[in-house]
Amino acid sequence: MDDCIFCKIIEGVIPSKKVFENEDLVAFEDLNPVAPVHVLLVPKRHFANLYEMSSTPQGLETLNSLYKALPELVRACGLESKGFRLINNCGENAGQTVMHVHFHLVGGIPLGPRII
Ligand code: 5GP
Ligand code: ZN
């Protein structure tokens, strides 16, 4: 999609530090990490947010593919023993700033207070 930062990263037009890739998704380091490990897990197909993604059969298939890849990604990031958070911000009230669905994989230190 035009004017989407993450589509441009997926196309290779904007550089990124990739840590994982398969036919459906890519994972790259967040530009402004909040923890020693802060990776964005991004489907190659453009969906604006998790609500839109999970509202279509193709989106649900991609979501399944994303969760299938999670163990390998977690191991690649060295997070398998001490754990992590997987976070999705969906829409305005959640503070989503890039309108291409993505999950933050965060870990590498104790992550502090939870709101839920
Ligand atoms: P959101 O606030 O939408 O949940 O998360 C968007 C994330 O994308 C932020 O953590 C931000 O640091 C990251 N981000 C924004 N632009 C870029 C970019 O050009 N490259 C990378 N690697 N991360 C980006
Ligand atoms: Zn996009």
pLDDT digits (tens, 9 = 90+) for 68-102: 999 999 999 999 999 999 999 999 999 999 999 99
The rounded Å distance from CA 97 to ligand 1 centre is 7
pLDDT tens, residue by residue, 39-71 = 999 999 999 999 999 999 999 999 999 999 999
Residues around ion ligand 2, judged by CB within 5 A, are 1, 4, 6-7, 46, 100
Angstrom distances, CA of residue 29 to CA of 15, 57, 77, 104:
11, 28, 10, 10
| pLDDT value at residue 116 | 76
Its pTM surpasses 0.95:
yes
Three-state DSSP class for 58? helix
| pLDDT value at residue 61 | 97
Report the alpha-carbon angle 16-17-23, nearest 5: 80
**Nearest atom of ligand 1 to the alpha carbon of 98:** 3
